[in-house]
């Protein structure tokens, strides 16, 4: 059964953890990261704790995030003027991208205090990771160069981003250790049977099937009652799930473990009202169909949900600390340089559209949209992705 869609938390770590693959420490600085530079590396748009944030760094974050929101709003001219939370979407993308750069660079500044620096091993690991993605996601250097050109960024900026992402991942791990600022104790987890529910269920669908044909609801209800009769007769829930169940989610996991708001209300309430060790004596109806639910006691030592909760709470603590570091950092921002660069890049995009034979009216957002759609056709790898995850998804 599909869970209810929830808005993503505004955690930078949620994006950069997917980009980080190694956990090595050493020494070095961002000036020695390597990667090929271009004209976008010659303009400094901010300094954070004495480290320059270059236009190429900002553009990588900006156009990735812009592509996401352009696609979300349908793309095309005018997406930047749409509002989200009382702010124009274009301004939000600009501000959030700059905030992401501040967080990444502040983490780089603070990392040596935790024994985490950048040495040749870390740089080589990231370069290998990047090269693998270039080959698998972009089909080689030509596709990668086209990607960099479309995002007005550089190979050096991608390397810097991956290095900083790697450092943030290591910082989170280091600070989550016993005694660290982000350690999450068992008491903090609130992982108990009052808050979390652990169940298995048989789903008998109603509505329409995958071919669009109407399902006989009376027949579905009959099957649901058969399942209950067999449970009452002592048959095993796992056998009945295999025999009757049509929830793909139960094929991929042993249990559902959830709290309020993570499942449809009918399913949550029925599970909550059930005693541990018992099962539904009447089918539970939801928009998915009929559920026959069996509830189990939590296993705090072995349930995967414990690890998820601990990681989530550690990320929340880390984000609070990271935001504090940003507040305390010596930061200067050249807003005029950012505005001037974005204006110039819009002109370049329009000129490129005209040269390619388009009608000439295409603005930067259309180019971003095309790049985003093209990227969606490229299968991601398990090791890394060169796409930065937006800090926040639009509220539903």
The tens digit of pLDDT for each residue in 159-214 reads 999 999 999 999 999 999 999 999 999 889 889 999 999 999 999 999 988 888 89
140-144, 209-213, 244-248: lowest mean pLDDT where?
209-213
The CATH number of the domain holding residue 179 is 1.10.4030.10
Residue 47 maps to a domain: yes
Is pTM beyond 0.75? Reply is no
Identify whether residues 218 and 256 lie together within a single domain.
yes
| pLDDT level of residue 217 (50, 70, 90 thresholds) | very high
Residue 17 lies in a domain: yes
* pLDDT higher than threshold 70 for residue 3: no
Q: Is the pLDDT of residue 12 over 50?
A: no
Instruction: Provide mean pLDDT across the span 155-160.
Output: 93
Query: Are 240 and 99 contained in the same domain?
Result: no
State how many domains the chain has.
Answer: 2
pLDDT of the residue at 206: 93
* CATH number of the domain residue 226 falls in: 3.10.50.40
Q: Per-residue pLDDT tens for 295-321?
A: 999 998 889 899 999 999 999 999 999
pLDDT at 252 exceeding the cut of 80: no
CA–centroid distance for 199 within its chain: 27
Give residue 255's domain range: 192-299
Task: Using pLDDT thresholds of 50, 70 and 90, give the confidence band for residue 32.
Answer: low
Place of tokens 């660290």: 180
Average of per-residue pLDDT across 47-57: 95
> Do 349 and 276 fall within a single domain?
no
Tell me, yes or no, whether 332 lies in a domain.
yes
* Other C-beta atoms lying within 10 Å of the C-beta of residue 215: 14
pLDDT of 82 reads: 84
Instruction: Identify the pLDDT of residue 359.
Output: 46
């Amino acid at each position: 059964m599909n869970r209810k869609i929830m808005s993503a938390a505004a955690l930078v770590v949620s994006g950069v953890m997917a980009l980080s693959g190694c956990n090595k420490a050493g020494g070095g600085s961002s000036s020695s990261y390597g990667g090929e530079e271009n004209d976008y590396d010659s303009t400094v748009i901010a300094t954070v704790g004495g480290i320059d944030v270059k236009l190429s760094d900002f553009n990588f974050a900006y156009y990735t995030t812009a592509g996401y929101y352009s696609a979300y709003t349908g793309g095309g001219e005018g997406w930047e003027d749409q509002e989200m939370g009382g702010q124009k979407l274009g301004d939000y993308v600009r501000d959030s991208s700059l905030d992401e750069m501040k967080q990444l660079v502040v983490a780089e500044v603070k990392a040596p205090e935790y024994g985490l620096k950048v040495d040749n091993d870390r740089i080589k690991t990231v370069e290998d990771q990047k090269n693998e993605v270039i080959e698998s996601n972009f089909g080689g250097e030509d596709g990668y160069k086209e990607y960099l050109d479309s995002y007005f960024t550089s190979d050096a900026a991608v390397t810097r981003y991956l290095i900083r992402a790697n450092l943030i991942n290591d910082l989170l791990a280091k600070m989550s250790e016993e005694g660290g600022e982000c350690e999450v104790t068992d008491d903090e987890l609130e992982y108990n049977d009052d808050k979390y529910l652990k169940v298995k269920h048989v789903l008998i669908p109603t509505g329409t099937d995958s071919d669009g044909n109407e399902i006989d609801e009376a027949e579905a209800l009959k099957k649901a009652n058969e399942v209950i009769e067999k449970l009452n007769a002592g048959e095993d829930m796992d056998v009945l799930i295999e025999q009757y169940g049509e929830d793909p989610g139960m094929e991929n996991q042993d249990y559902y473990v959830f709290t309020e708001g993570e499942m449809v209300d009918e399913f949550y309430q029925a599970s909550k009202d059930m005693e541990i060790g018992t099962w539904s004596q009447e089918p539970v109806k939801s928009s998915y169909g009929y559920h026959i639910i069996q509830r189990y006691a939590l296993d705090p030592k072995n349930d995967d949900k414990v690890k998820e909760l601990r990681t989530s709470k550690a990320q929340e603590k880390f984000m609070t600390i990271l935001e504090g570091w940003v507040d305390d950092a010596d930061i200067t921002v050249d807003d005029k340089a950012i505005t001037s660069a974005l204006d110039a890049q819009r002109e370049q995009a329009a000129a490129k559209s005209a040269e390619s034979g388009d009608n000439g009216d295409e603005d930067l957002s259309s180019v971003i949209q095309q790049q985003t759609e093209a990227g969606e056709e490229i299968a991601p790898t398990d090791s890394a992705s060169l796409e930065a995850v937006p800090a926040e998804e639009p509220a539903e």
